Amino acid sequence: MDAKEWLVEQDRLNHIRAKLKVRIAELEPAMANFRDQVTSIRKHFWEDVTVNTSTHEDFEETFYAINQQTAVLSERERGHNLLIQQWKSLNRLLRNPYFGRIDFQEVGLNDTEQIYIGVSSFLDEDGLNFLVYDWRSPIASMYYDHSPGPAFYDAPYGRITGLMELKRQFQIQGGQIVTMFDANVTIGDELLQQVLSKGANSEMKSIVATIQKEQNAMIRDDKSRMLIVQGAAGSGKTSSALQRVAYLLYKNRDTLKADQIILFSPNPIFNSYVSTVLPELGEENMQQTTFQEYLEDGLGASFRIEDLFDQLEYELTAHQTSEYAARLQGMKYKASTGFLNALNQYVLGLGSKGMMFNSIWFRERELISAEQMRSQFYSTPPSLHLSDRVELLQKWLLDELVLLERREIDAEWVLEELNYLDNDQYAEVFGELHKDREVFDIAEQYAEIQEKIHKKLRKDEGDFTFAHQEEELLRHKIVKESFKPLRRSVKKRMFIHVQGLYAQMFSDQTTILEMTHESDMPSLWSEICEQTRDKLNRLELFYEDATPYLYLKERIEGVRTNTQIKYVFVDEGQDYSPFQYEYLKKRFPRARMTVLGDFRQAIFMQSTSLHESDSPLFKLFGEAGTNMICLNRSYRSTREIVMFTKKLLSAGDEIVPFDRSGKKPELIRLESDEIRDAQMRRDIASLRAEGFDSIAVITKTAAESRKAYETLGIQGCEGLLLITKKTLTFEKGVLVIPVYLAKGVEFDAVLIYDTSSQVYRQENERKLLYTACTRAMHRLMLYSVSDWSPFVEVLDRDLYNLAPEVAHEI
Ligand SMILES: Nc1ncnc2c1ncn2[C@@H]1O[C@H](COP(=O)(O)OP(=O)(O)OP(=O)(O)O)[C@@H](O)[C@H]1O
């Protein structure tokens, strides 16, 4: 870039920054003014309102005055918040006004427009000229999608075509242009090289300046009901998803708020990892949760639910137990579409037989039996949905309770309770009755007048006394109180015996066949049945049962829906079962869904393929409403690490590394655990000395993590942090972490604690090793004290370096 051009750009930058400073300075007094007004209104709120409730008119006037005052206050607060937002946005721009420029000549116009692109827009004083365009604006999309030459963008009023004459990238720091490139391809590799060569952070970064074309397609897809993104490890799925959230918030700024978007994260620690990206882009964070939270919300009070991580630990460590084979078959089957279909069939079948209810008991008496409910339920129209029939039954039960409650008033126990009312209770009841008394007086007068007019005796003549009436009302009140929990439990639909219904599917082979017409059953079905029933009897649920159980419960009771949410994002989408997708769709009926995942990292027993043509995800919203984007370029790791990790897979050929060089992965075999730990301590120290400050020792299981944490500590390794599923925030340092908690995150250097054949041998462990190794950005080191894992053993020798002292051993 010639020096003259550089000067011109620096001049423009100075000019824009000066304008920004002026605008900021102009805003500050207005902000202070609003703030003072808000403080003053809050302080004097009651002084400015005359409260008078003596007459109806006074009351209305007071009410009106309070309302008016509240409206003024919230209008000022809104104004203040708006100015704060603008102020923050301008300050963000002042630090870094733009990162790109394109020169575009629109067909039919003579002038070429210079379009500068930054994290938000900035207009000239006249409000007509864009000095900086928001990266999400339609015109800015050309920056990501086109190389210099013919180009176009889709404006709200149609497609605009023209010629892109220039595409320039900037890095700006402290008001100075640090680097400047003219790119002749989409986004130049040079800038990306610089960005990617930096160290990992405990928080994810925004990629706004270097979004790639295929990522941009995903970010700006606003047509699909279901967007599936299958992407290699490190291809930018999560980063692009967050940019997509920012884009959607911008595009739909009048109708969409951040809390109408929800992201399902793989674990709580991931929430903290991604939480800074949107604020960095000037947007509020969306809601974040985990599926486990949803399960616990739906079932937590009735069951202790295993989580996905404990399920995986079981799968990886319980080989020796007698029930292992059946449990594994159960995990697989219960996550399958086959079981989902079976369950749907089962629910359908319940329309004609098999419903189970819990009798309603009261003071050790069966008030309404399960049998009565069953016959009442089956007397409702079979053409209705099961949940509608449940609703009719619920109404019937509430009516029955009213009748039973009335009958109960004369029961012996009520009289006893009456005698045992303590003074406070009595006084409370008496107070209430006293109020009612006025009503009785009027009723009494009315009855007397009626008597006179019609000249006939009232029915209750002679036996109507207040004492009697009081006692009756007291009895009534006592019964009503005692029936309250019954009514509440009916409203919560606790009369449905969901546990029994779920267990019924697992009663024996014939039941499920009869109920579901399902022929493709696991061979160890009777053992699976026994395990499931045992667990249910202990009021515990295997992870693989939790979603089907909740699904069954909600199909019968009626689904709890959340219609506020407009977009659902599912990260690590391969780790969700078809059940869970069905559940999410029903739970968020108004939402569009974005699923990001990598089937090559499907380490849990339950998984859903994202890109196979028979993926259940295509059926969820129908093919017409579904779009799939594949991201095969991997940005996180160096070329050497990607070449190594993709060969760990049986089918990883399509993964393409971004061309950033580094050291080859290193294989280090040592004679004993102690020697390995001592070597790791030395390696960690030298990595730190090289300037890498985010380092992870990755293990297969939590038990192995605990062991590594202890033994490395004994070897004098300092500053270790043990990460467990309870850890909520990420910190920089040397983390010891099981692979399933490292999903989705990255480190400068990764050390695989034990890469022997005892640890990574089974086919399901291949993906674990792949996932662990792909967390590394710059350095990858694998250790073993015995034979190498067969997945490593077969790799071409030129894909890695062997530590010299052990070179002869492989
Ligand atoms: N366009 C880009 N510009 C700069 N950095 C990028 C870009 N795309 C991805 N990256 C970087 O690559 C790394 C991996 O991105 P990200 O974590 O989003 O990938 P992922 O596909 O979600 O990975 P995984 O499946 O392994 O969790 C991050 O450091 C991210 O900043």
Give the pLDDT of residue 466. Answer: 56
Asked whether the whole model's pTM tops 0.90, one would answer: no
How far apart (Å, rounded) are the C-alpha atoms in residues 202 and 273? 6
| Count of C-beta atoms within a 10 Å radius of residue 278 | 20
Spacing, Cα 335 to ligand 1 middle (Å): 29
How far apart (Å, rounded) are the C-alpha atoms in residues 780 and 297? 40
Tell me, yes or no, whether 104 lies in a domain: yes
Nearest-atom index, ligand 1, CA of 597: 25
Q: Residue ranges for the binding site? A: 231-238
Spacing, Cα 124 to ligand 1 middle (Å): 35
Ligand 1 atom 13 nearest Cα: 636
Nearest-atom index, ligand 1, CA of 187: 1
Spacing, Cα 219 to ligand 1 middle (Å): 14
Sorted by sequence, the CB contacts under 8 Å of residue 230 that are 6+ apart come out as 597, 598, 599, 610, 611, 628, 629, 630, 631
Spacing, Cα 604 to ligand 1 middle (Å): 22
* 50 in the same domain as 165: yes
Mutate to test the pocket of ligand 1, among 239, 240, 694, 743 (most ligand atoms within 8 A of CB): 239
Mutate to test the pocket of ligand 1, among 143, 243, 636 (most ligand atoms within 8 A of CB): 636
* 218 in the same domain as 201: no
Nearest-atom index, ligand 1, CA of 233: 26
Ligand 1 atom 12 nearest Cα: 636
Instruction: Give the end of a domain, one of 207, 238, 256.
Output: 207
Tell me, yes or no, whether 347 lies in a domain: no
Question: From the first residue on, what is the mean pLDDT of each consecutive set of 10 residues in the chain (810 residues)?
Answer: 87 94 86 72 70 71 76 76 84 91 92 93 88 95 92 92 93 89 66 76 82 93 92 92 94 93 89 85 90 86 88 85 89 87 88 92 90 95 92 95 88 82 67 59 61 59 56 82 92 93 85 68 88 93 94 88 94 90 90 91 77 79 89 93 92 82 93 92 93 93 93 88 86 89 91 94 90 95 94 92 60
Ligand 1 atom 14 nearest Cα: 234
Place of tokens 């070329």: 639
Give the pLDDT of residue 441. Answer: 59
Angle, helix 509-516 to helix 498-505, in steps of 10 degrees:
100
Beta carbons of 582 and 592 less than 8 angstroms apart: no
Nearest-atom index, ligand 1, CA of 211: 1
Spacing, Cα 637 to ligand 1 middle (Å): 9
Ligand 1 atom 26 nearest Cα: 233
Tell me, yes or no, whether 136 lies in a domain: yes
Nearest-atom index, ligand 1, CA of 601: 25
Ligand 1 atom 15 nearest Cα: 236
Pocket of ligand 1 (CB under 6 A): 192, 195-196, 205, 207, 210-212, 215, 231, 233-239, 598, 635-636, 744, 746, 774
Indicate if the alpha-carbon torsion angle 377, 380, 384, 390 is positive or negative. Answer: negative
Tell me, yes or no, whether 250 lies in a domain: yes
Spacing, Cα 646 to ligand 1 middle (Å): 16
Spacing, Cα 140 to ligand 1 middle (Å): 22
Spacing, Cα 777 to ligand 1 middle (Å): 10
* 62 in the same domain as 125: yes
Tell me, yes or no, whether 446 lies in a domain: no
Split into its structural domains, the chain has a count of 3
Structure tokens at 69: 């005052």
End-to-end CA gap in the chain: 50
Give the pLDDT of residue 445. Answer: 60
Ligand 1 atom 27 nearest Cα: 744
Tell me, yes or no, whether 409 lies in a domain: no
Q: Residue ranges for the binding site for ATP? A: 231-238
Instruction: Give the end of a domain, one of 178, 207, 236.
Output: 207
* 126 in the same domain as 68: yes
Give the pLDDT of residue 449. Answer: 62
User: 127 is in which domain, residue-wise?
Assistant: 3-207
* 779 in the same domain as 671: yes
Spacing, Cα 515 to ligand 1 middle (Å): 47
Amino acid making up residue 724: T
Place of tokens 């395990």: 531
Nearest-atom index, ligand 1, CA of 598: 25
How far apart (Å, rounded) are the C-alpha atoms in residues 647 and 714? 35
Concatenated DSSP letters of 472-485: HHHHHHHHHHHHHH
Mutate to test the pocket of ligand 1, among 202, 207, 228 (most ligand atoms within 8 A of CB): 207
Tell me, yes or no, whether 346 lies in a domain: no
How far apart (Å, rounded) are the C-alpha atoms in residues 40 and 48? 11
Spacing, Cα 649 to ligand 1 middle (Å): 20
* 759 in the same domain as 655: yes
* 165 in the same domain as 120: yes
Spacing, Cα 237 to ligand 1 middle (Å): 6
Instruction: Give the end of a domain, one of 634, 658, 679.
Output: 634
Nearest-atom index, ligand 1, CA of 774: 26
Spacing, Cα 197 to ligand 1 middle (Å): 13
* 688 in the same domain as 730: yes
How far apart (Å, rounded) are the C-alpha atoms in residues 545 and 529? 12
Beta carbons of 180 and 197 less than 8 angstroms apart: no
Spacing, Cα 655 to ligand 1 middle (Å): 14
What CATH number has the domain bearing residue 707? Answer: 3.40.50.300
Nearest-atom index, ligand 1, CA of 212: 1
* 118 in the same domain as 12: yes
Nearest-atom index, ligand 1, CA of 635: 12
Nearest to 316 by CA among 789, 784, 760: 760
Tell me, yes or no, whether 120 lies in a domain: yes
Structure tokens at 491: 């409203």
Beta carbons of 532 and 520 less than 8 angstroms apart: no
Ligand 1 atom 29 nearest Cα: 636
Beta carbons of 747 and 735 less than 8 angstroms apart: yes
Give the pLDDT of residue 97. Answer: 93
* 203 in the same domain as 214: no
* 162 in the same domain as 214: no
Ligand 1 atom 30 nearest Cα: 236
Ligand 1 atom 16 nearest Cα: 236
Nearest-atom index, ligand 1, CA of 209: 3
Q: Which H, E and C letters describe 627-658, residue by residue?
A: EEEEECEECCCCHHHHHHHHHHCCCCCCCEEC
Ligand 1 atom 24 nearest Cα: 233
* 660 in the same domain as 609: no
